[in-house]
Each structure stands twice: as structure tokens, then as C-alpha cells.
Amino acid sequence: MTLTTRDHAMRMLGVKFRAAGLPSPELDARLLVMGVTGASDIEMLREPGTRMSGAEEARLAECERRRLAGEPVSRILGQREFWGLTFAVTSATLDPRPDSETLVETAAALLRDAAAPRILDLGTGTGCLLLALLHELPQAQGIGVDVSPEALSVATANAARLGLSGRVAFRCGNWTEGLEGKFDLVISNPPYIRHGDIAALEREVREHDPMLALDGGEDGLSAYRALARSIPDVLTQDGHAVIELGLGQADEVGALFESAGMHVLRTVPDLAGVPRALVAARTRR
């Protein structure tokens, strides 16, 4: 039996994915070949002629079947890159999105000169926001909260894999309920899709991201209301809140935080120019 090379397998898979109308066929094919063979980016470039084993070919065929059935690459491989780090993902966690890196960048800049900042991540999912911040800020400590115990198991495993377990704790709960102490920074990417818009989301999102991570209630603002009410009580006097915004939500979310007595300092755009992070504080500065 002649076994195919990694490069050939990747090209063939890319052609099939393109014919099936997948949005990023070549990238998906590359990630799947790397996933089943364990090859790095550099190895893919330097050693394109390396032959795959029979077991790798069989695993790739299974990945192909799942991808063509609409499953995202990250779910098939069980992991996703965010902020240059690898995070485990499962059906209980939102797939970390590149847009959310805007929050990490914004929060890291706010804490750059803080001696030993305490960070609270509300709705932590995989833990990607909090763990990326702890990775950036070696003196920081944090708590990640989620209402989903299954998501918290994933976040706990991610912290261990990234060597950050000593500086993080995870709590199961409803936003800030039962938390003690104050935090220098509260970060959150809450569920913010309007309930009625969920049916029209891309199939990959609708069928594979957990509803708990998507559904923002009738107007998409339910979680923001709860956060605006509760965050002022857990922020230090000079602390900041960095909150992810859904498309077109900046004014409404800003108004919720202002009416809870906080000051909106600015919004920060993502790479597409969409206002993605809202920065608020207890005092105007």
C-alpha cells in the first residue's frame, strides 16, 4: 500500500473542502493534517514529502467526514489557538474568537504597571481571557467564574497545561454572587446574541457553541444588565471593567453601565474596526 505525503493529503483535502463550499478550506485542511500527524508549521514547510502512517490516514479520513458534516476544526481537534496559546475546547465551551483578543490587549495595557493585580473573569468558558492575561502579567492573580461546571473543568485543565494553576482559581456561580474581595480588573465576554437571532447564526456556531454562551435573552442585553448591576461592588476604587461588545451594542451597553453609576472611558475596536471592548471605571479619569 502506498501511503500519501502530508503535503498531498493537505492539498487533496483542501480541494474537497473548497468544493463543499467551506469558508476557509486550505487553512482547515492544513490544521487537520497538522492535528493528526502532530507536525508543526515549520515541519509542514520543511518536510512536505513526509509520508503519513496508515493510522494517520484513517484519522484524517474521520476528520474529513466530521468537517464535511459541519463540525468546526477546533471541535474535531479538541483545541484552539488564542493569544498564541493552545486552549482545549469541548462542547461545553465557546470556541475562543480572535476578536476577543482585543479585550486581552486592552486589559493587559491597563494593568501593565500594577504591582500584583487581581483579575476577575466573569463567564470564563475555556479560561482564555483570564489565562492569556495571567500569561502576559507574571505578577497577576485571578478568579474565573462560570455557571457551567463542565466549562470550568476545561478551564482548570487549560490552566494546568499552561502552567498557571498556582495563580488562578475557578468558581462555579452566577456572575459575582458569593464572591469576596475587590478586583483591579473585571473582564467579561458575556452571552450577547438576541434570542430571536440564534436560529439565523452560522450552522457551525448554532450547532456547536453552547447555548449558555450565546443566548443574551430577548434583546441580547440580559447578561450585560446583570453585569452592570454587580461589577461596581467587586471593583477597587481605581479598577477597570473591560467588557466585550456584540455588533452595534456599544451605546446600549454603555448606557447600562452609566446608569449603574460607572463611567464609560472608551470603546476599543477590533481588527475589523468594530467597537469590541468597552472600558468602564468607577471614577472618571
Ligand X SMILES: C[S@@+](CC[C@H](N)C(=O)[O-])C[C@H]1O[C@@H](n2cnc3c(N)ncnc32)[C@H](O)[C@@H]1O
Indicate whether 145 belongs to the interface with ligand X (CB under 6 A): yes
CB 184 within 8 A of CB 119: yes
C-alpha cell at 6: 502530508
Sign of CA dihedral 281, 283, 284, 285: negative
Single out the residue of 17, 175, 183, 257 in contact with ligand X (rule: CB under 6 A): 175
CA angle 156/95/99 to nearest 5° reads: 110
Indicate whether 246 belongs to the interface with ligand X (CB under 6 A): no
H helical segments located in the chain: 6-19, 25-37, 41-46, 54-68, 73-77, 101-111, 128-136, 149-161, 203-208, 211-214, 222-234, 250-259
Closest CA to 136 of 82, 70, 94: 82
Using DSSP, state whether 235 is helix, strand or coil: strand
In one-letter notation, the amino acid at residue 213 is: A
Indicate whether 119 belongs to the interface with ligand X (CB under 6 A): no
CB 90 within 8 A of CB 136: no
CB 216 within 8 A of CB 188: no
Query: Cα separation of 245 and 22, whole Å?
Result: 27
At its nearest, how many Å lie between ligand X and the CB of residue 264? Answer: 21
Q: Which is nearer to ligand X, 94 or 110 (CB)?
A: 94
Q: Which stretch binds ligand X (CB under 6 A): 60-68, 111-119, 188-196, 262-270?
A: 188-196
At its nearest, how many Å lie between ligand X and the CB of residue 182? Answer: 19
At its nearest, how many Å lie between ligand X and the CB of residue 92? Answer: 8
Single out the residue of 9, 29, 76, 129 in contact with ligand X (rule: CB under 6 A): 129
Centroid of chain to Cα 162: 15
Indicate whether 124 belongs to the interface with ligand X (CB under 6 A): yes
Q: Which stretch binds ligand X (CB under 6 A): 16-24, 65-73, 106-114, 186-194?
A: 186-194
Indicate whether 183 belongs to the interface with ligand X (CB under 6 A): no
At its nearest, how many Å lie between ligand X and the CB of residue 146? Answer: 5
User: What is the residue whose three cell numbers read 473573569?
Assistant: 121
Indicate whether 270 belongs to the interface with ligand X (CB under 6 A): no
Site string for ligand X, 196-235 (x = CB under 6 A): ----------------xx----------------------
Q: Write out the binding residues for ligand X, residues 53-112 only, by CB under 6 A.
A: 94, 96, 100
Q: Which stretch binds ligand X (CB under 6 A): 34-42, 54-62, 108-116, 145-153?
A: 145-153
Q: Which is nearer to ligand X, 37 or 102 (CB)?
A: 102
Residues engaged in binding ligand X (CB under 6 A): 94, 96, 100, 123-126, 128-129, 145-148, 151, 174-175, 189-191, 212-213
